[in-house]
Amino acid sequence: HGRGANLHDTRSCNACTWNPPNVAEVKRRIDELVGWGANFIRLDLESYAQAEGRVHYKPVTDDAQYLADVKAIVDHIGTKPGVYVLLSLWVDATFSQLGWPTAATAKTWELLATTFAADKHVLYGLCNEPQQNFDGARDAEVWKAMNDTVAAIRAVESKLGAQSHIIAVQGTGAWARRLDYYVSHPITAGGGANIAYEVHVYDPSSEHAKLVTQPAATLPVIIGEFGPSSGVSLTDVANLQALAEKLEVPHLAWTFHMRCPPNLIVDPGVGCGVNMQLQPTPWGQQLKSRLAAPW
């Protein structure tokens, strides 16, 4: 029964990269989101190839303090009974041009898998959104990129004698919307054990059967992002929430932020949001009400 929302790290959807990192603010938002009733959080890690004026921007492989900050955030989530975190690489310079994990991404995951080897409340999300590939012509290539990255994580866990964490692989195209290839070609690395298949759904109700119901019939599915958008109403979103609960599919709303739409909290319009009032938007209120009701 995992449900909750996306939450950004200290970089905060590039809103807070111009100021020193503030772990306490991320912890405050975790407290609020769990207070809403969330028991599942997707923690979105972001890093950039160039500073371009940012005070902090480097990946965990090049910034020990950033890795320590991420660990502190994940540890804080671990203090909440029954709450799990999907640790996801969201913006990352190692991704291919189409958003796939690469050999360099696997190196990042080797470090993260070492860091969080003993943390039972942590799941891993390999990348954000494989793009394009609407016709599936490159599905086999995306699959290999995912499978190779899973293999790198499993090798670390095996070496450390650690548990096999749940790893979410993302839809092969259309910005992580397409899970159909995995139905006939599930991940094989590590024997294919403890793999979840992550889909992002910003679509009207008429698309939900294709995007969620059909793959969820045979695969463990996680809806890693969803929310209202152009042509997608709050009613469509409510229908998706009801469907996910009916199918026992964990789902994570986008996003517990004020400036990274669709936003769950209201933008006060000043600074990067440190100590701001965490007031729900209409989308946020819909999620909050849903989380308050039993599943």
Ordered DSSP codes for the chain = --EEEEEE-TTTTTTSTTS---HHHHHHHHHHHHHHT--EEEEEEE--SS-TT-SS---TTT-HHHHHHHHHHHHHHHTSTT-EEEEEEEE-TTS-TTS---HHHHHHHHHHHHHTTT-TTEEEE--S-----TT-TTHHHHHHHHHHHHHHHHHHHHHHT-----EEEEPSSTTTT--HHHHHS---GGGGTTEEEEEEE---GGGHIIIIIHHHTTS-EEEEEE--BTTB-HHHHHHHHHHHHHHT--EEES-SSSSSSSPSB---SSTT-TT----B-HHHHHHHHHHHS--
Cα 282-226-170 angle, rounded to 5 deg: 160
Whichever domain contains 88, its CATH number is 3.20.20.80
Structure confidence at residue 117 (pLDDT): 99
**Chain-wide mean pLDDT for the chain?**
98
Give residue 159's Cα distance to chain centre: 26
Stretch 22-47: mean pLDDT, rounded? 99
Share of the chain above pLDDT 70, in %: 100
As for how many domains the chain has, the answer is 1
Q: What is the pLDDT of residues 75-106, one digit of tens each?
A: 999 999 999 999 999 999 999 999 999 999 99
186-208: per-residue pLDDT in tens? 999 999 999 999 999 999 999 99
Sorting pLDDT into bands at 50, 70 and 90, what band is 54? very high
Q: Which domain holds residue 191?
A: 3-292
pLDDT digits (tens, 9 = 90+) for 69-83: 999 999 999 999 999
pTM recorded for the entire structure: 0.98
Torsion of CA 257, 251, 44, 121, to 10 degrees: 120
**Stretch 258-268: mean pLDDT, rounded?**
98
Average pLDDT value for residue range 24-52: 99
Q: What is the pLDDT of residue 286?
A: 99
Q: What is the pLDDT of residues 115-169, one digit of tens each?
A: 999 999 999 999 999 999 999 999 999 999 999 999 999 999 999 999 999 999 9
Tokens 């986008």 -> residue: 254
